[in-house]
Amino acid sequence: MKLNTRVILESDWDMLVDWWANWKDWGDNPTKEMLPLNGTGGLIIEKEGKPIMAGFLYLTNSKVAWMEFIVSDPTYKENDRAEALELLILSLEDIARAMDKEIILSIGRNKSLLSMHKKLGYIVDKDPSYELSKNIKI
């Protein structure tokens, strides 16, 4: 069956929260305010109208874009997950390219995600890095 790409809609929010909550290794869910366009700045991959994967793209005022918070439906077990992930990443790249970006950055630890990035020509640093964050809201 054919995979389709569409933009994330406001009505997708509860589903995305559920996906993040049901991945045991995820950690804290991002809030809408932390995501581009208040949670709609990304894409969803669908199969037969059913959402199966999503990812977000932060656009900056530089030549750099940031791909982040890639998540999938944890109950989706079909053998086309890798194809869906590849379509998602390439589609986010297309948006960045259309916005005149030259580099996409991302963070990941999931082996399948890292493997797909390598397949698509991303440089995956051999030395682990640490994600650093600080809540500066007072």
Check which CATH number belongs to the domain holding 54 and give it.
Answer: 3.40.630.30
Averaged pLDDT, 23-49? 90
- Asked whether the beta carbons of 36 and 24 are under 8 A apart, the reply is no
Q: Is residue 78 part of a domain?
A: yes
Q: Is residue 127 part of a domain?
A: no
Q: Is residue 34 part of a domain?
A: yes
Q: What is the pLDDT at residue 24? A: 73
In this prediction, residue 27 has a pLDDT band, given cuts at 50, 70 and 90, of low
Write out the residue range of the structural domain in which residue 13 sits.
3-119
Q: Which amino acid is at 129?
A: S
Averaged pLDDT, 97-109? 93
Q: What is the pLDDT at residue 65? A: 97
Number of domains in the chain: 1
Q: Is residue 124 part of a domain?
A: no
